[in-house]
Structure formats: structure tokens, C-alpha cells
Chain A
Amino acid sequence: MEKKEATLTRKDFTSDQDVRWCPGCGDYSILTQTQKIMPEFNIPKEKIVFVAGIGCSSRFPYYMNTYGFHTIHGRAPTIASGIKISNPDLNVWVITGDGDALSIGGNHLIHVLRRNIDLNIIMFNNEIYGLTKGQYSPTSKLGHKTKSSPFGSVDRPFNTPSVVLGAKATFFARTIDSQPKHLQYTLRKAQEHIGSSFIEVFQNCIIFNDGAFSHVTDREIREDNILDLKNGEPMIFGKEQDKGIKLDGFSPKVVQIGKNISKDDLQVHNEKDRNLASILANFTENELLPTPLGVFYSEDKPRYEELLVNQIKESVKNLGKGDLNKLIAGSDHWKVS
């Protein structure tokens, strides 16, 4: 009988390098949950690659005992694309931050998403530049006072899901560093999705932007501010699970479940509905609405590397395997004797 490979554990994914994030940083939780969940995927360690750009989050690959590449600011999607296209058999993850992904690397991000290369992209969004010590980022709120915006930022922020869905991404999910179970759940969903999967993690920078996400992390108020999306289920939220979302045309509004409104009247979440996902994306910009967490959108579409490999197969089928000598000789050659 063939000997079954020993099941991997969290320890197998932990490298021998000392983790050097600030004590209390949200990154620790993301690292831990990732290391914890990896064995579940049953992928041999040697087939896993973590690629990162530059920034606090981007040190991540050093701490994973898999293949890893800490690259250049903003360029991780390009390097990950090269890895995945040249060897589609690999399981490739991109670790990035809000500055890395949405500012210096914005161009690469939208293009990798539109190509739908099968990567799992995790963006740690702390709404600040941490590694360069506290400048505003492309997700910092308007008016945010930082080292480089002492009078308040006059830079309108990106709304992450709008950018991602606008680039025709086939998967978007959001989670929070301080919710380990939910974090694991979204990682699992991203891994299950074949194609580019994008996760936005609200991540607390304890040094330069502490409490940026307190409305969804403070025990007292968070349940009233979070809409936990569950596919096929009505959109219900609130400490008492007594509030819901109803669509008035294209406009979402919060309704009280009770006499006049039952659960059946609420909007049901459908991960495959791109229009609904766009509406959910805009929740963030409306203070009256809760912040959606979970999988906004997930749909299968052809992947770049899959189409390319198919072309190669088709081409070999139609033309035969290429003969280099013939190719070099070309059609117009002559002999000199």
C-alpha cells in the first residue's frame, strides 16, 4: 500500500525567521490564520508560492515556510503573474497593502484582475503608510491628518471593492484582522474560487492609525455596523438581528424587521450577481448603511493561463510539435556548394 503523505500542520508553514511586526499589529492575526488554514487545502508545500510587494504586510513571505518572493513596491501582481503563467500547477498568493496595491501598483492590480489569473490576492488595508512611518494612503479618509497631510488629506480615497469590481474581478471578499474565524472563512472561499480572488482585510495599524476600523471592531457597536453576507440568505444585521437591507430600486436602505417587514421582504444575497455586488461596494460610502463583510461576488470565468495553455495544446494538435530545424531553415533557403 502506498504510504500516505503525513498531513501538514500549522508548524509546517512557519518559517524559522523571527516575525518583526510591531507588537499588537493586525498582521500577526492574518499570518496566524493563514498558517492555520493552509494544511486544510491539502496542497504540497513545495507547490505554494507567496509573493509580496513592499510595505509592512509584504514581509509576509519571509514568515511562510513555502516558496516565497518579496519583490518590488507595487509589482507583486506582475511577478505572481509570471510565476502562475509559466507554471499553472502552482498555488500562488499575493500579499499586499493599500499603498502597494492601490497606489504605486494600481495599474498592475486592475490588469491582473481583468486577466483573471488564478491568484489569491490579500490586501491588508490599514488606511495608512506604515513602513514609511505614517503618511496618508489611497484609502485614507478625506481630511485625515497624517505626517504628510497635517491640515487633513485633500486626496479622495478609493473604495476598494469598487476598484476591484470595476476591473472585472471574479471574486471579492472583505474581512477583519480581529475576527479569526471570519478571516479563515474568507481565505477558504478565496482558495476555493478559481481565478483572481481578492480579499480586503481591514487591518489595524497600532502605531500610525490605531482604531481606524473601530466602528466594526468595538465590541459595543460592531454588530450594529456589520452586515455579514451569506450567500442565498436575506441581509440581516444588528445586535438583535432585527435590522435588514431592502432595495428601493437600486438604492439600499436599512429597514426594521417587525410588524410591517418580515425577513422575506429583505434582499437576499447572491454572490453571482455582479450588480448587487456593485451596490454592496458602495455601502462603505454611505454612513447610514452597515459595512458588508464576507463574499461580495464570486463567479467563474476563463483564466488567462488556462486560455494560453489551451492555445498551446490546440496549436500542437493542429500544427504538430514545432520542429526547430524547419523553423530556422524558413521557406526561402538556398544551397551554396
Chain B
Amino acid sequence: MSNKNIEKLESVVIRFAGDSGDGMQLMGDRFTTTAALVGNDLGTFPDYPAEIRAPAGSLAGVSAFQLQFSSKNIFTPGDKLDVLVAMNPAALKMHLEDLKSDGILIANKSNFTPRNLKMAGWESNPLENESLKQYTLYDLEISRLVANATLDMGLSNKIVERTKNFFGLGLLYWMYGRPLDPTIDWLEKKFKKKPELIEVNVRALKAGFNFGDITESFATKYEVGAAPLKPGVYRNIVGNHATGLGLLAASQLAEIPLFFGGYPITPASDILHQLSNYRNYGVKTFQAEDEISGIGSVLGAAFAGNLAVTATSGPGIALKTEAIGLGVITELPMVIINVQRGGPSTGLPTKTEQADLLMAMYGRNGESPLPIIAPSTPGDCFYIAYEACRIAIKYMTPVFILSDGFIANGSEPWMLPDLDKLSKIKIDKPLSRDGQFLPYERNEKTLSRGWAFPGLKGFEHRLGGLEKEHVTGNVSYDPDNHDLMVKLREKKVSLITQEISKTEIYGKSTGKVLVLGWGSTFGAIRSAVESLNEEGKSVSHVHIKWINPFPSDLGEILLKFQKILIPEINSGQLIKIIRSEFLIDAQGFNLVRGKPYTKSQIIDKIKEIL
């Protein structure tokens, strides 16, 4: 029986850090699921290296997972850490600077060997000198503790050693009063065919839990209550997963099959993995021989009447560029997802960045406009994917989705969408005039052309990359026709403004500073502006989903503020478009560190210009 203090907290930020093979992502996932089931609001940030298994104990091999869980509504995975779990000296070295000065540090002492200390660049063992004394340090011999707890099972050291993440998880479950059952259920499902692996992990989990309960040094338990989320049914959702579900929803609402053609690339591959599982939904996935073939197959599938989608990251977009141009001139509906990562070139494959906006906007030969939309949170990916598909079909155009590594891998509690509330995606029957189909005859309201796919009798026609004659679609080199077609393609994209609802302004609709954001910076900006509003500062926030075209009321809104601040994880890309479009002297805030902004970085910047 325990006799411990219980302290109530509003929010807690935990980071699990260890070797790539230590199971840190798994530990984070499990803690997240449990926190979600308890009713907390939460935000997560998996941060892992590009190397699959860098040498054990090296700084390069450290993998981390951060989450914030809270009894109020939150928008980010948190800034400074309340708890750091460091499974080895390298993890401690990499992440200690983010721990609050009075934070809790849980370290696996068993791994602080002279060799590991040296690899991580510690001159002496920090657990044994005074250097960590400002923190509440729990240095535990986790390896020995799990070995003791599973001694009678007669399993190899290797297997037992692998359970140490579950020991840590158990300890944290004890600290924050979390149930063990969801994790035990998960283990039972995962290792259905290997009962000894269920038992060894459950024992480690319980050993961690009991260790907190009976060890005197753990004097306090913490309570983080349920958050006041809107009533509804929730689940925890990762951004890429929400994207996949949104695509599938769109295909069902459009009543056409979903075709996904792509090539594996970090951090977009999970969309391919997920959709490959949906055979019984009629989804066809094609893992092509390269990125070009991926988008080529998508062009073919779009021509043939499927909802055609590809997902990749910056380097993949570079390869797909020519084919995207063919999509623009043939005016075929398709969705191109760029889960952005650090660049240029291979850059930072597993880190986040927003530096492909101008590439999406201008990165093709010729005048080649296409719509661009960006999700702002993991759950939002669902609606953005659906909306991109809807617009692609309605306007007969490729549509770009600019996601990024942060929202693609991050997660949040997500209220299940009501599919009945999403509108059906109508596919207009192509028209023929006097028995003849004119492929480039346009709808007056949308300027979209008819989608006639092979199989439709009487609509046989030829498409191609050569300039099209207005209405007939025949090859044309006529100068006036080219000028007209360039303008029609541009106009068609700008007409999408009629689909964009009124821009929401968070805070007052006029004032000193407006923070304008797009994409994954939403959470950090919103929580920063929220805090500053609580302090009575005159700051508002507008977050745009559509970047091409802009919402029609955006220009007007921008004029109502003295200063416009645009934080982006790039050197200033949205700001270039805003300046040229509205002739407004907006200010940029640009840290390109492969990491999402923290709330405090945004607050500091706003204060600087207020």
C-alpha cells in the first residue's frame, strides 16, 4: 500500500529518449493512447534519426518521442520538458537542455557505462557527480530490475533487455495514475502467437508500476484530469493516417475507386503502407519503380476515371515535376501530397520543414498554376485530403497538399467525423454537342472541362502535353490561342476562391499585430496568441488553409492590422507571395532548424515587434 502525495497538474510534457532500437516511439505511442483514453487533450512529436540503427549508444542514434497531455485544450506537444526519460548517456546529452530546471529526470543507470559515456561525450558520469542536482533525478538500474522481475522465465538477456521501455512506461503510468489495461490488451493482441513475449513485457510493465508504488523515493503522484473536449466520439490520430482516411472518404463520396501510385520516401511512406491494407475497400496501390512512374501511373489512373493520388516528399516532387505539368495541361483531377522534410537535396529526411511552398507554387516549366492547400494539425489532414479531392474533381486540376513531417507523424485526439456531413462529390457527365465530345469545352462557373474516361462510348478523344486548342482540344500552335489557354488555366485556379469560406480571425479583427500562418505552425502560433491575449496584448491569428488561391477576404483583413508577422519553417516563402499579392510589408520569422516552432519562440518574437 502506498502513502503518497497526490498533486494536481494542468499539463505535463514528457520526452522519451533512447537508442533507435530501444523502443522509444512505441513507448510514446502507448503512453499517448492511454492518455487519450483517460480523456486528456494531447499533442505528440516523434523525433527520430534518418539512420535505422545508428551504432548503439551514439548521439546519431538517439530517437525521441515527446508528448504533452493536459486537462485543458492544447495545440502543441509542449515546449520545455517536465519529464525526460533518458535510456542512455547519448539521450541525456541530446535532450537535457530541454528539461525544465526543476524537471524530473529518469535515467537508465545500467546503460551509463564508461564506453557509452565516452561515446556520448561525457567526461565523467553525470549521474555520479553533482551536475544534475537541480533536477529531480531517478537513476534506476532498469536492466537489472527487469532481469529480476523475469528471472524465472528463463529467457535470453536480449529479450529481457528489450522490455526496459515497458518498465519505464509502467513507472510513468504509476506517476500519472494511468491504467495498465490498455497497454496489456495491446500486448496481448500484438504478440498473440508468442505468449512468452506478452508475459515478459507485462511483467516489466508491472514491475515499473510497482517500483513507483513501493519505492520511497517516489513520494508524489500526479493527476492530470480529462480535458473539456467537445462532446463526441474521439480517437487518437496521426496526420498521415488521417490523410489516408480522408482520401478513402473522398473516393467513397465521389463513388469512384481510389488509386494510389507512389514510391517509398520518408516521411510520406506511411500513406502508401496504410492504403495498401485497404484492399477490401477496393483501393488499388501501385508501388512504382520510381517517383516518376508513381506520378505517371496517377496520370493514367486519372485519365481512366479513378480518384488518383500520389504522396511523396520534396525530392520526389522534384522528380514528378514534369508529369505534374502534364496534369496541368491535360486538366486531369489528381491529388499530389508533399509531406515536406528538411532540404535541399536529401537534406533532413526525418525532420520537418515548410520550404517547398514556392516549389509547389512555381516549380514547373511554363505558366503552370495549380491549387495548393495545407493541413494545420494531424486531424485536419483528413478534411484537407477530402477537400483536395473534391476540388481536384470539381475543377479538373491537380491539387497540391503541403503536409510536413511534424503533422504527418504527430498525433492528437480527434473527434470522429460525421461522414454524412461531408458533401457528396459530384462528377458531371461530360457533354457532347451534336454527337461530338469537345474535350476542352468549359463549365461556365468553374471553367473545368469534361471528364470523359475510356469506356464511355462516343467520347473517344486524345489528350497530350502539346498546347490545346480552346474547346476542341486539338493540338494548336496559334499564338492567340496559347495566350488564351494560359489565362484560362490561371483563371480556373483563381475561381476556387468561391469554394473558400470566410477567413476566421482568432482574437480581435483589428489591432497591432496579426500573426499569419499556414500548415503545421498552427499549434505553436495559436497557443502563443492565446497566452498573449490572456495578458491583454493586441495580437490576432489567421491561419490559411488555401495558399493558392488565397481566400478572397484575406487582403482586406491584412489591412486592418498595423503589423503582419509570418512565422514559417523556411527562409520566407509565404511572405514573398503575400508581399507580391497585397503589397504589404509583412515581417517574417524564420527558424529553419528541422524542428517545429515552440510556443515560447513565437511569443518572444511577437513581443519583440509589439
Contact = CB atoms under 8 A, between A and B. Distances in A.
Same assembly:
yes
Interface of A: 15, 17, 44-49, 51, 54, 61-62, 64-72, 75, 77-87, 89-90, 107-108, 111, 308, 311-312, 314-316, 318-322, 324-325, 327-330, 332-337
Contacts of A54: 465
Contacts of A51: 300
Nearest to A73: B322
Query: Main SS of the interface on chain B?
Result: mixed
Given A85-B297, A337-B231, A46 B455 contact: yes
5 contacts: A61-B462, A86-B257, A90-B304, A315-B280, A333-B233
B284 interface: yes
A78 B290 CA distance: 10
A61 B235 CA distance: 50
Contact of B462 (A67, A83, A322): A67
B245 A67 contact: no
Contact-residue size bin, chain B (C-beta under 8 Å from the other chain): 35 or more
B476 to A, nearest CB: 12
User: What 9 pairs across the A-B complex have the smallest Cβ distances?
Assistant: A82-B300, A78-B296, A70-B464, A82-B297, A322-B281, A315-B279, A68-B462, A111-B289, A83-B300
Given A17-B474, A46-B456, A71 B465 contact: yes
A332 B182 contact: yes
A336 B296 contact: no
Contact of B454 (A70, A78, A90, A330): A90
B235 A47 contact: no
Given A17-B474, A86-B304, 7 more contacts: A61-B462, A67-B462, A69-B330, A72-B296, A79-B296, A311-B279, A327-B281
Nearest to B461: A67
A222 to B, nearest CB: 36
Interface string B272-306: 00000011111010101110111111111111111
B326 A72 contact: yes
A332 B306 contact: no
B419 interface: yes
Interface string B217-259: 0000000001001111111110000000100110010000101
Contacts of B475: 17, 62
A68 B308 CA distance: 18
A336 B231 contact: yes
B204 interface: no
Contacts of B466: 70
B463 interface: yes
B305 A328 contact: no
Given A79-B300, A107-B289, A308 B284 contact: yes
Given A308-B284, A333-B233, A79 B462 contact: no
Contact of B460 (A46, A82, A321, A327): A46
B511 interface: no
Contacts of A15: 462
Residue in A44, A61, A333 with the greatest tally of chain B CB atoms within 10 Å: A333
B454 A46 contact: yes
B372 to A, nearest CB: 22
Contacts of B421: none
Contacts of A330: 235, 237
A47 B39 CA distance: 54
B296 A108 contact: yes
Contacts of B261: 82
B297 A78 contact: yes
A80 to B, nearest CB: 6
A318 B280 CA distance: 9
A49 to B, nearest CB: 5
A71 B322 CA distance: 10
Nearest to A58: B464
Nearest to A75: B296
B561 interface: no
Nearest to A87: B304
Contacts of A315: 279-280
B153 interface: no
